[in-house]
Amino acid sequence: MEPLIRVDNIRYTYPAGTGKPALTDVSLSIGAGEYVAIVGANGSGKSTLARHLNALLVPDQGDVWVNGWNTRDRAHIRDIRRTVGMVFQVPDNQIVATIVEDDVAFGPENLGIPEDELPARVREALAAVGLEEHGHRASHLLSAGQKQRLAIAAALAMRPLCLVLDEATAMLDPAGKADLLRIVRRLHRSGTTIVAVTHSMSEALEADRVIVLAEGRIVMDGTPAQVFADAESLERYGLDVPPAARLAHLLAAHWPDFPRHLLDAEALADAVCRHLSLGAHVRTTHPLAATDTGGQPVLPPDASGQAPYIALEDVHYTYLAGTPLETRALRGVSMDIRPGETIAIIGPTGSGKSTLLQHLNGLLRPHAGRARVLGVDLTDPRADVRALRRRVGLVFQQPEAQLFERYAGDDVAFGPLAFGSSLEQARERVRRAMEAVGLPFETYKDRLTLTLSGGERRRLALAGVLALEPQVLVLDEPTAGLDPRGRNDLLALLRRWRDADRAIVFSSHNMDDVALLADRVYIIAEGRIAHAAPVREAFSAPESLVGFGLGLPTAMTFAQALARRGCPIPTDLLTLEELAHAIVRLADERIRV
Amino acid sequence: MSTEAVVQSTPARKVVIAGVMGALAIFLGWTHLGFIPWVAGAALTIMHVPVIIGAVLEGPIVGTAIGLIFGLFSLLQATLAPTGPVDVWFQNPVISVLPRLFIGVVAWLGYKALRKVNEPLALAVAGILGTLTNTVLVLGTIGLFGHLPWAALPPIAIANGLPEAVLAAILTVAVVVAWKRIETGARKSRM
Amino acid sequence: MSASEFDLLRTVTLGQYLPTGSALHRADPRVKIASGILLVVAVTATSSLAGLTLAFALVIAGFAVARIPIAYALSGIKPMLPFLALLGIFQAIAIPQNDANTTVYWRWAFITLTARDAVAVALLFAKFSVLVWGISLLSFTTSTTALTHGTEHLLRPLQRIGLPAHEFALMVNIALRFVPLLAQETERLMKAQASRGADFGAGRRLNFVQRFRKLLPLLIPLILATLQRAEDLILAMEARCYTGGKGRTHLVRFRAQASDYAILALVLIVLAATVAAGFTSADATVWRIVSTVWR
Ligand SMILES: Nc1ncnc2c1ncn2[C@@H]1O[C@H](COP(=O)(O)OP(=O)(O)OP(=O)(O)O)[C@@H](O)[C@H]1O
Ligand SMILES: Nc1ncnc2c1ncn2[C@@H]1O[C@H](COP(=O)(O)OP(=O)(O)OP(=O)(O)O)[C@@H](O)[C@H]1O
Ligand SMILES: [Mg+2]
Ligand SMILES: [Mg+2]
């Protein structure tokens, strides 16, 4: 039988690009009803491939066939595009109309669906994503998660056979991601073919089939079990295995007979329990290093005696006060951050994380309450916030928004030059900052910022802030949208940067980042600090986290799965390495008994 | 030298570029970001630059459409939120809307004539011609309606029109060169 | 509470629509838009005070029907009064009326205030008021969506003769949707630059070159980011089969009621009278009376 989509040996080079092909010799077939995940490093060609699937791009060589139509055939372009619907990454950039209903109707209207039929189509599509109550609302007032659901509804209104999601969950918080995945799973069950591009290996596990792209070529294609069995290759392509497989590998390093190809928490927990009871007599082959803390955060020096770098006391902030759009973003936030600490701020979308972080370098000033940062009183209207900004570096949520020069080198130099460095001094600082983030100065300084990949832009933005040589580094969701290798590199970089005189404050939706990096956690909800605790403690009360729409670090999810099976494992472990360590020790203790 | 792409223009592209550049013109006017104080309380404006950029990127029809949005917006702003006596004149669509329809066409003609010779030069010329079209036609219609004596017009045209043309040229070149990734061959990073 | 120096969104909030649920709010937006356009045309075309008075009465009646306090519209006109006064003076000075037939009320050096000047200023003021109140009424009673849909439907006949009515409506829609996004984008850019030492602090007076220098690193990335967003939106629209206005159907349909035709007829009659008054001697009569009283 002819597959729904057949990609036949295609090659594509962007006309305005570097001249390097974005796709080379790509062939694949996708059958009706399949659920395919496409993974790959930043810039590996995932979006380019996705855009070939509904004729948004047409290959330079080779052919793409959708439901029997060649995408070169302009006569069938509508048939192709109504067969394969698309959802993109940035929620705001794919909404056409100002009212939710109108936006959903946009596709069917273009197809010329009879006007009597349109309202039913719109209702049906909105119901499929749970937005039926919101039909008359203004589309720009929806939350990010709702906007992405709207984008899916807009595609569904054309009744496609296949839905392509290009990193559709990348900009959502854990609750929004979970909602979206649930909707996609339901669509798949009811027969829609799904092609999902993602950086999250756990999301890739949802699929029946995983395709790995590297430098524009398909390098792996198989079931999740097959693909994720080959950890070495994945790492070479800048990817990672799903967390369960990582843990399985860690355990297998100690117990050679431990199954390596486990993908989800439940199967893993079963295997561990089996191993603990059956295999108790098997001695570990490698004795464990005494303190193999891997990525665990270094404990801060006892800083309680020192004056805090940052002291907020009952800080309030209201956007657009006195207008109909007034938003009370902060409603009484207090916190103390001391030298040497790394602090994570977590909370659901819209809880005020970004607003809070912008207070730390005086971009925003408290409307009520007190705020002292590095000795500067922000409530004092004469405070020199500009001088403060050199000592408190802020990296924003969207790296695109903070690159404003044409050439990478100039962009990093923006800060030093603005603060009056000479060209010579600036060059030295720029060189150091760029080397620190892994962008060699000579290679990158003359690159056009517009042509950098997502990961490179993120690093460049960080370099621009590091070039100021700040004392406190503030990062707003530093790892969102990065591929696994980029994320690991960034976390490693931040760990290296820390020392006793510096402090890091960051926000994140990714609990593993928090577990890997933070000493203490502040949970913020509706503009108030709901909970503040050392990281281990914060995660050991999981009920409160789930209540705020937040997840748990993967290690803790596994530990809980084990605990449910009666395995006496501590549940406050932060990293997979710690968990593996604890499991192996548990086995060792049993042998001794 | 140019590594410019031949991006195929589609109906969606035309509508969207016209829409976002129109939004930019509105935004510049609304926030007064597009006004730069000049001598004697007068202000230079760069509100028409989106019209020029749109025309250069997507042709004369898109340019005219953005000009129409720009014109309608200045009509509305002059009527609903006037800030000076001159706004009363701009309540007349013949002054506020009509002249703006020609900015894009003229800019595009200038660009098209010269782009084969030298692209950055063509862009600068588009910026200058587009601006001058705006200045001359707006002042011309003001003269026609007798709001100002004809003799008063040339000095205004020179005092406002010329510096505005320079600003528009700088912006048009900078934006389009970066967007189309045109290699200017000049300096690279200062570092 | 102080506004932040980056608070751009504040200046671009569209707070014009005042839903009171009146009959005028429920009227067909096509009729309201057409009336608005006719009003602008008529007011621009006429030069008769009597005619403008008629149009003015029409607008005031509209306010009454819409149940919107006149004070609401008055507040829009207040900031303009000093300018209008200035303009009147300007008219008196700059455009000498060397016409022997006109009554001179007042003379000082080269400044003469004649009856003709008085008429000109009065006309200006009347035109201005009618326009401001008329357009305010339209925006008070019609939501943005109704406005864009209405415009599109109104222009649809033009589509048949090849004018891109649908494209125009869609373009306006996109433009309105992007203005707040641009405000956000600018705010982000300003904050990012301020974080790295750029100084946007108000207060210090900058000369013109400095201001432009400061504006460039803001405007260029803003425009480029906007174009990048536009690319995304283009893809999203093409993925949803957009190929222009031809053959499209419409979710929103309007059905004009008898009351809508009645409104349109009334507006047409009054505005026709407004324009016609310019060609009659209505004003001359009015002026003779005024001049007599003055003497
Ligand atoms: N519009 C464009 N013009 C020129 N080059 C482009 C364009 N879009 C992408 N590229 C280049 O093509 C290559 C593949 O890009 P693509 O966007 O498909 O990667 P991706 O796998 O989706 O990356 P990411 O994970 O960052 O989204 C990259 O080298 C990129 O720089
Ligand atoms: N510049 C702004 N103008 C007006 N309202 C704003 C602005 N920035 C944020 N808000 C509003 O303030 C509230 C807090 O927003 P904030 O961006 O601080 O949340 P967040 O926790 O960072 O969310 P996210 O996880 O989505 O980044 C939200 O309701 C948001 O809509
Ligand atoms: Mg991509
Ligand atoms: Mg945020």
Interchain proximity B4–A16, CB inside 8 Å: yes
Q: Which of A318-327, A343-352, C131-140 has the highest mean pLDDT?
A: A343-352
pLDDT of residue B13 exceeding 90: yes
pLDDT of residue B12 exceeding 90: yes
A426 touches chain B (CB under 8 A): yes
Helix axes C29-45, C49-66, angle to 10 degrees: 160
- What part of C 247-276 touches B (C-beta under 8 Å)? none
Overall average pLDDT of the A55-65 stretch:
94
Contacts for C23 with CB less than 8 Å, ≥ 6 apart? C65, C259
Q: Is A352 in the pocket of ligand 2 (CB under 6 A)?
A: yes
How far A418 CA sits from the closest chain C CA (Å)? 5
pLDDT of residue A127 exceeding 90: yes
Among B16, B23, B37, beta carbon nearest to C182: B23
Q: Is A169 in the pocket of ligand 1 (CB under 6 A)?
A: no
- Which of A143, A351, A507 has most ligand 2 atoms within 8 Å of its beta carbon, as the pocket-test mutant? A351
- Which of A10, A23, A48, A483 has most ligand 1 atoms within 8 Å of its beta carbon, as the pocket-test mutant? A48
pLDDT of residue A100 exceeding 80: yes
- Using a pLDDT cut of 70, give the percent of chain B over it: 89
C256-261: long-range contacts (C-beta < 8 A, 24 or more apart)? C256/C28, C256/C30, C256/C31, C257/C28, C259/C23, C259/C27, C260/C27, C260/C28, C260/C30, C260/C31
Amino acid B55 reads A
Which of the pair, A202 or C99, is modelled with greater confidence?
A: A202
Does pTM top 0.90 for this prediction? no
Interchain proximity C238–B10, CB inside 8 Å: yes
Say what the pLDDT of residue C87 is: 66
Least confident of A175-184, A287-296, A358-367, A450-459: A287-296
Q: Is A486 in the pocket of ligand 1 (CB under 6 A)?
A: no
pLDDT, one tens digit per residue, over A317-333 is 998 877 666 889 999 99
The conformation of residue C112, written as its DSSP 8-state character, comes to: E
Least confident of A99-103, A157-161, C282-286: C282-286
The whole-angstrom separation of Cα A143 and Cα A75 is 38
Structure confidence at residue B44 as a pLDDT band (50, 70, 90): confident
What mean pLDDT is reported for chain A? Answer: 87
Least confident of A244-248, A338-342, C4-8: C4-8
Which of the pair, A290 or A559, is modelled with greater confidence?
A: A559
**Best interface-test mutation with A: which of B15, B181, B191 has the largest number of A CBs within 10 A?**
B191
Say what the pLDDT of residue C295 is: 63
pLDDT, one tens digit per residue, over A526-539 is 999 998 989 888 88
Structure confidence at residue C71 as a pLDDT band (50, 70, 90): confident
The conformation of residue A308, written as its DSSP 8-state character, comes to: P
Overall average pLDDT of the A103-111 stretch:
94
User: Which residues in chain A are closer than 8 Å to C225, comparing Cβ atoms?
Assistant: 400-401
Hunting for tokens 């008055």 — which residue is that? C74
pLDDT of residue A49 exceeding 70: yes
Which ligand approaches the C-alpha of residue A45 most closely? 1
Say what the pLDDT of residue C113 is: 60
pLDDT of residue B11 exceeding 50: yes
Say what the pLDDT of residue B56 is: 96
The whole-angstrom separation of Cα A434 and Cα A461 is 10
Q: Is A319 in the pocket of ligand 2 (CB under 6 A)?
A: yes
Which of the pair, A96 or C102, is modelled with greater confidence?
A: A96
Say what the pLDDT of residue A298 is: 44
Least confident of A207-216, B147-156, C68-77: C68-77
- Using a pLDDT cut of 90, give the percent of chain A over it: 50
By C-alpha distance, which of B168, B58, B52 is closest to B106? B52
Structure confidence at residue A270 as a pLDDT band (50, 70, 90): confident
Overall average pLDDT of the A414-435 stretch:
91
Which atom of ligand 2 has the smallest separation from the CA of A358?
A: 18
Structure confidence at residue A484 as a pLDDT band (50, 70, 90): confident
Which of the pair, C109 or B79, is modelled with greater confidence?
A: B79
Report how far apart, in Å, the C-alpha atoms of A142 and of each of A135, A148, C118 are.
11, 9, 54
* Count of all residues that appear for chain A in the document: 593
pLDDT of residue C12 exceeding 80: no
Which residues make beta-bridge pairs with B3?
Answer: none
CA A14 – ligand 1 centroid, Å: 9
Overall average pLDDT of the A500-524 stretch:
92
- What part of B 28-87 touches C (C-beta under 8 Å)? 30-31, 33, 36-38, 44, 46, 50, 53, 65, 68-69, 76, 79-85, 87
CA A23 – ligand 1 centroid, Å: 10
Which atom of ligand 1 has the smallest separation from the CA of A50?
A: 18
CA B111 – ligand 4 centroid, Å: 42
Structure confidence at residue A355 as a pLDDT band (50, 70, 90): very high
Enter the tokens of residue A565: 């099976």
Among C182, C208, C224, beta carbon nearest to B175: C224
pLDDT of residue A292 exceeding 70: no
- Give backbone dihedrals phi and psi of C177, rounded to 5 degrees, phi first: -70, -30
pLDDT of residue C110 exceeding 90: no
Least confident of A179-183, A196-200, A269-273: A269-273
Nearest C-alpha to atom 14 of ligand 2 is from which residue? A352
Among A321, A324, A404, beta carbon nearest to C217: A404
Which of the pair, C191 or A295, is modelled with greater confidence?
A: C191
Overall average pLDDT of the C150-168 stretch:
82
pLDDT, one tens digit per residue, over C93-108 is 655 555 555 565 656 5
pLDDT, one tens digit per residue, over C206-247 is 666 777 777 888 899 999 999 999 999 999 999 999 988 788
Specify whether the CB–CB gap between A54 and A27 falls below 8 A: no
A423 touches chain B (CB under 8 A): yes
Among A94, A140, A418, beta carbon nearest to C180: A140
Hunting for tokens 């103390």 — which residue is that? A336
ipTM over 0.95: no
B179 touches chain C (CB under 8 A): yes
Which of the pair, B63 or A451, is modelled with greater confidence?
A: B63
Q: Which of A138-142, A188-192, A512-516 has the highest mean pLDDT?
A: A188-192
Specify whether the CB–CB gap between A70 and C202 falls below 8 A: no
Structure confidence at residue C290 as a pLDDT band (50, 70, 90): low
Say what the pLDDT of residue C116 is: 66
pLDDT of residue B106 exceeding 80: yes
By C-alpha distance, which of A554, A568, A527, A574 is closest to A246? A554
**Best interface-test mutation with C: which of B8, B53, B79 has the largest number of C CBs within 10 A?**
B79
User: Which residues in chain A are closer than 8 Å to B8, comparing Cβ atoms?
Assistant: none
Which of the pair, A57 or B183, is modelled with greater confidence?
A: A57
Q: Nearest chain C Cα to A140, which residue?
A: C177
Interchain proximity A409–B190, CB inside 8 Å: yes
Q: Is A318 in the pocket of ligand 2 (CB under 6 A)?
A: no
How far C33 CA sits from the closest chain B CA (Å)? 14
Say what the pLDDT of residue C244 is: 83
Amino acid C241 reads C
Structure confidence at residue B39 as a pLDDT band (50, 70, 90): low
Among A16, A409, A423, beta carbon nearest to B181: A16
Helix axes A118-128, A144-156, angle to 10 degrees: 130
pLDDT of residue A373 exceeding 50: yes
CA A214 – ligand 3 centroid, Å: 13
How far A114 CA sits from the closest chain B CA (Å)? 22
User: Which residues in chain A are closer than 8 Å to C186, comparing Cβ atoms?
Assistant: none
pLDDT of residue C18 exceeding 70: yes
pLDDT, one tens digit per residue, over C256-289 is 888 889 999 999 998 888 888 877 766 677 667 7
Neighbouring chains of A at 3+ CB pairs under 8 Å are B, C
Q: Nearest chain A Cα to C232, which residue?
A: A93
Which ligand approaches the C-alpha of residue A166 most closely? 3
What mean pLDDT is reported for chain C? Answer: 78
pLDDT of residue C248 exceeding 90: no
pLDDT, one tens digit per residue, over A214-231 is 999 999 999 998 898 888
B180 touches chain C (CB under 8 A): no
Which of the pair, A245 or B70, is modelled with greater confidence?
A: B70
Which of the pair, C17 or A434, is modelled with greater confidence?
A: A434
Residue A329's SS3 state is strand
Q: Nearest chain C Cα to A396, which residue?
A: C192
Neighbouring chains of C at 3+ CB pairs under 8 Å are A, B
